[in-house]
Amino acid sequence: MFTSSIFERAPIGMFDSGVGGLTVLRQVYQQLPNESVIYFGDTARLPYGIRSPAEILQFVREILNWMQQQQVKMVIMACNTSSALALDIVREEFKMPILGIILPGARAAVSCGKRIGVIATPATAKSNAYRRAIMEIDPHVQVWQISCPEFVPLVEQNRIDDPYTIEVARSYLEPLLEQDIDTLVYGCTHYPHLAPVLRSLLPSSVKLVDPAVHIVKACAHELDLQGVKNTHLPLPTRFAVSGCPQHFAQSSVQWLGYTPMVEVVHLNELGVRS
Select the span of 13-21, 88-96, 193-201, 235-243 touching ligand DGL (CB under 6 A): 13-21
Catalytic residue flag (residue 244): no
Q: Would you say 10 or 47 has its CB closer to ligand DGL?
A: 47
Residue from 8, 11, 14, 17 touching ligand DGL (CB under 6 A): that is 17
Distance in Å, CB of 227 to ligand DGL, minimum: 30
Q: Which of 68, 252, 31, 222 is nearest to 158 (CA)?
A: 252
Task: Select 41 or 113, whichever has its Cβ closest to ligand DGL.
Answer: 41
Q: Between 228 and 248, whose beta carbon lies closer to ligand DGL? A: 248
Among 49, 105, 113, 117, binds ligand DGL (CB under 6 A): 49
Q: Which is nearer to ligand DGL, 127 or 230 (CB)?
A: 127
Catalytic status, residue 112:
no
Contact 66, 177 (CB under 8 A): no
Hey, which residues between 147 and 206 contact ligand DGL (CB under 6 A)?
152, 188-190
**Pattern of binders to ligand DGL over 51-90, x per CB under 6 A?**
----------------------------xxx---------
**Taking CB under 6 A as the criterion, which residues in 227-246 touch ligand DGL?**
none
Taking the least distance from each CB to ligand DGL, the nearer of 11 and 47 is 47
Piece of the chain touching ligand DGL by CB under 6 A; list 44-52, 57-65, 168-176, 202-210: 44-52
CB of 14 to ligand DGL, least distance (A): 12
Q: Which of 79, 112, 219, 244 is catalytic?
A: 79
Angstrom distance (rounded) from CA 8 to CA 213: 22
DSSP string for residues in the chain: ---HHHHHHSPEEEEESSGGGHHHHHHHHHH-TT--EEEEE-GGG--GGGS-HHHHHHHHHHHHHHHHHTT-SEEEE--HHHHHHHHHHHHHH-SS-EE-SHHHHHHHHHHH-SEEEEEE-HHHHHHTHHHHHHHHH-TTSEEEEEE-TTHHHHHHTT-TT-HHHHHHHHHHHHHHHHTT-SEEEEESTTGGGGHHHHHHHS-TTSEEE-HHHHHHHHHHHHHHHHT----SPPPPPEEEESS-HHHHHHHHHHHHSS---EEE--GGGG----
Q: Which residues are catalytic?
A: 79, 188
Q: Which positions touch ligand DGL (CB under 6 A)?
A: 16-17, 20, 46-49, 79-81, 121, 124, 152, 188-190
